[in-house]
Every structure is written in C-alpha cells, then in structure tokens.
C-alpha cells in the first residue's frame, strides 16, 4: 500500500491527539501541601514528585533567602525540610536518595552552607551529586534549586 505525503502527515497529526499509555499512567504523583505551591504546580503542569516502579523523582526545590536573612544555612534548611516532607509522602527517606543535582547562582559562596546543611540530612554511603552554576532561578530570591532521585526499598 502506498501512502502519499499528505496522508502520512494526517496520520501523524491524528496520532498526536490520541492518548497513549505511558510510564506516568501507572505512576503515583504527589502535589505540594502548600496551597500556593500546589496552584503553581497545577498551572505550570508538574508535580512535587512522581513514583514510577521503585524510583522517586522529585521536582527541584528552590532554597530562597528571605528579606533580612544573611545565613544561607537557614534557606537550605527550609529547602531540605520540604524535600524531606516530599520524600516521606512518597514512602522514602533521606537514606533512599541516590542522586542529587543542585543548581547554584553562586557556587563558590553557596557550597559551604549547602554542604553543612546537606551533611545533616545525608549520611554515608553518599549519593551521587552534581552541582551546576546557573545565572538565575525562579523566584528571583532563589539561590539554589535542589533536585532529588530516590529508590524505594
């Protein structure tokens, strides 16, 4: 059977609107507990976390400095507490974290505070960790975004 180009384009376009069962179909998602954050997640189309199989993927959590704060550890502690809450909702703990990716607006000045707080939550054997310098985060007060992958036991 020969299909001309117009028919092929129509078949592809028609298929794009057809729901296909994918990994997210069977996954469990978790939204933020905070109503303001939950609204942003719904409006922007993402979850706090998604569990597929035995793997938990957390969306990035931004550590932000509030007005008058000078100790970066305070911002990191808030972020790590929020990550810990999401891990608990997904049935995991800090001991289940296998990968961390952090995006920093100033690696040099932020790493000492980040490491100090992280080491209060994560013990050996340590997960993989990649720290990346970026120019900006959302919100503008954000200093670091922390993304986690964990494995359920």
- Extents of the domains making up the chain: 27-151
Residue 148's pLDDT is 97
Better-predicted residue by pLDDT, 38 or 85: 85
For 14-30, letters b (16+ CB in 10 Å) and e give eeeeeeeeeeeeeeeeb
Q: Is the dihedral of CA 126, 82, 135, 114 positive or negative?
A: negative
pLDDT above 70: residue 81: yes
Domain covering 27-151 assigned CATH 3.40.50.620 in the classification: no
Contact status, residue 96 vs residue 153, Cβ threshold 8 Å: yes
Determine the Cα–Cα distance for residues 134 and 73; give it in Å rounded to an integer.
Answer: 19
| Per-residue pLDDT band at 3 (split at 50, 70, 90) | very low
> What tens digit of pLDDT does each residue of 62-71 get?
999 999 999 9
Which residues partner with 132 through β-bridges?
A: 103
């Amino acid at each position: 059977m020969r299909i001309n180009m117009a028919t092929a384009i129509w078949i592809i376009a028609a298929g794009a609107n057809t729901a296909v069962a994918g990994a997210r179909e069977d996954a469990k998602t978790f939204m933020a507990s905070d109503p303001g954050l939950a609204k942003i997640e719904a409006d922007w189309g993402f979850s706090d976390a998604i569990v597929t199989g035995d793997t938990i993927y957390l969306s990035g959590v931004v550590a932000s400095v509030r007005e008058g704060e000078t100790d970066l550890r305070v911002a990191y502690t808030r972020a790590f507490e929020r990550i810990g809450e999401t891990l608990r909702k997904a049935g995991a703990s800090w001991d289940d974290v296998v990968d961390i990716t952090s995006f920093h607006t100033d690696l040099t000045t932020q790493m000492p505070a980040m490491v100090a707080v992280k080491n209060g939550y994560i013990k050996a054997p340590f997960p993989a960790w990649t720290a990346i310098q970026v120019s900006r985060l959302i919100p503008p007060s954000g200093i670091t975004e922390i993304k986690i992958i964990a494995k359920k036991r």
